[in-house]
A and B are shown apart, each in its own frame.
Chain A
Amino acid sequence: MLAKRIVPCLDIKDGRTVKGVNFVDLRDAGDPVELGAAYSEKGADEIVFLDITATHEKRKTLAALAKNIAKNLNIPFTVGGGISSIQDVDVCLMNGADKVSINSAAVRNPALVDELALQFGNQCIVIAIDAKLVDGEWIVYVSGGRTPTKRRLFEFAKEVESRGAGEILFTSMDHDGTKAGFAVDALAQLSDTVNIPIIASGGAGNMEHFAEVFTKGKADAGLAASIFHFGEIEIPDLKQYLREQSIEIR
């Protein structure tokens, strides 16, 4: 059976991992390549690298990053962060990335999704959507969650699916950082709305939350950052727990 995926996410700035990462057995906890490999060893099914470098030289740093990771990582990985053109995607994929994550650019220019899917195939196009519940409606935000838009989560997800997205990475801004659990209701509704895989992000605090996101939340993958970085949850323990809950895990 197809397994549910556990996905650690690393934030990268100028080629280094930011946000504290607390790994005891690493020489250099800032090196995204080494961290990625360590997560792979521990049983991560996939890794997301988000480049938050804010410079015009971005494309070069993305290329070098993708290449370094691809050389050393034998599981799939996604690269994201400010990707807004065919050229950006080309650079990532040609350097060995398996998927790219597109966020604000897909909201500002939805036709970009069609272009990318046609050029590179929908399997490598992940659309990352940040949304927040405002007056009972899930509103899509851009620019790292700073700017609200007029788009609503479910209709926007449906639109990017029809334009050729291969997967959706949904972050609930209301749940992100709370460690109180994923947005399971919204995730389940999202899963019923589209027919492409959903990566759930935001709110993971304990192992029960992952069980819940895969059952009630119907998610295909669960993403988290700090709880993995700080060893609050070890991936082998998490996988063992999920197996005991009869959830299909690699």
Chain B
Amino acid sequence: MNLTIIDYNAGNTQSVIFALNRLGIEPILTDDFEAIKKADKVIFPGVGEASTTMAFLKEKKLDQLIPSLKQPVLGICLGMQLMCAYSEENETFCMGIFDQQVKRFQPPNGQKVPHMGWNNIGQLDSKLFDKSLEQERVYFVHSYYAELSDYTIATTDYCGQFSAALHKDNFYATQFHPEKSGRVGAKILENFLKLTI
């Protein structure tokens, strides 16, 4: 399988590569448009700040390429947020694959921000998840979240419920880090590898 990771200045690319290696996959890391278009599957990782990263994607015109992709695409963490329409993080207009907003946590009871650590995923509704993963814990680290929407395929509770994962057509995205979520995360990556859109 040709699995391509979009190469841009995302901090956690190496972790994603290693996680795939552990599943026996040698991903290709590239920013070449033709190579990305040809891939069987594409992963769009992300760690960092929204406006800086979005500016970088625009400079490389990746903001136009990514929404036009036809094969299964998996966005991770900031990658997922940038696939939404708008982020409150420095008032950033994003790619708009998922027509919804990304907001900052407003803790009602002194909860800490960032939301950091292992939390449960529930209401799983996608081929990305097995039913056996209902209420399993995965690793999150983020200060902004996507609200619940028609695209929500997993929910998590922190300062209220938010979208732990989104899906529309060939686009999948997780707010958590499957590459750092132990055997549960490995299972989710495996499920992504098996997807046929």
Contacts and interface: CB of A to CB of B under 8 A. Distances in A.
Interface of A: 1-5, 40, 45, 67, 70-71, 74-76, 93-96, 98, 118, 120-124, 166-167, 195-197, 220-221, 250
Contact of A120 (B11, B14, B116, B181): B11
Contact of B112 (A122, A124, A196): A196
Contacts of A221: 117
Contacts of B33: none
Contact of A1 (B15, B120, B183): B120
B114 A96 contact: no
Interface in B103-122: 107, 110, 112-120
A5 B118 contact: yes
Give chain B's interface secondary structure class.
mixed
Given A74-B22, A74-B186, A123-B141, 14 more contacts: A2-B115, A4-B117, A40-B182, A67-B14, A74-B19, A74-B181, A74-B185, A96-B15, A120-B48, A123-B114, A124-B11, A166-B116, A166-B141, A195-B113
Contacts of A2: 115, 117-119, 158
A70 B56 CA distance: 26
A75 B137 CA distance: 12
B12 interface: yes
4 nearest A-B residue pairs (beta carbon): A96-B14, A250-B118, A121-B48, A3-B118
7 contacts: A3-B117, A70-B15, A75-B139, A96-B18, A118-B49, A122-B114, A196-B112
B70 interface: no
Given A74-B19, A74-B186, A76-B139, A167 B116 contact: yes
Given A74-B180, A196-B112, A124 B117 contact: no
Nearest to B16: A96
Interface string B3-22: 00000000110110011011
Contacts of A71: 18, 21
A250 B116 contact: no
Contacts of B139: 75-76
B139 to A, nearest CB: 6
B11 A74 contact: no
Interface string B165-177: 0000000000001
B37 interface: no
B119 A197 contact: no
B110 A195 contact: yes
Interface-centre pick from B15, B48, B119 (highest chain A CB count, 10 A): B15
A1 B181 CA distance: 16
A76 B119 contact: no
Contacts of B114: 122-123, 166, 196-197
B117 A45 contact: yes
A45 B180 CA distance: 10
Nearest to A69: B18
Contacts of B117: 2-5, 45, 197, 220-221
Contacts of B115: 2
- Find the residue from A70, A121, A250 having the highest chain B CB count within 10 A: A121
Interface centre among A2, A95, A124, A250 (most CB of B within 10 A): A2
B157 interface: yes
Contacts of B113: 195-196
Contacts of B141: 76, 123, 166
Contacts of A1: 119-120, 157
A93 B141 CA distance: 15
Nearest to B141: A123
A184 B183 CA distance: 33
Given A75-B139, A98-B180, A121 B11 contact: yes
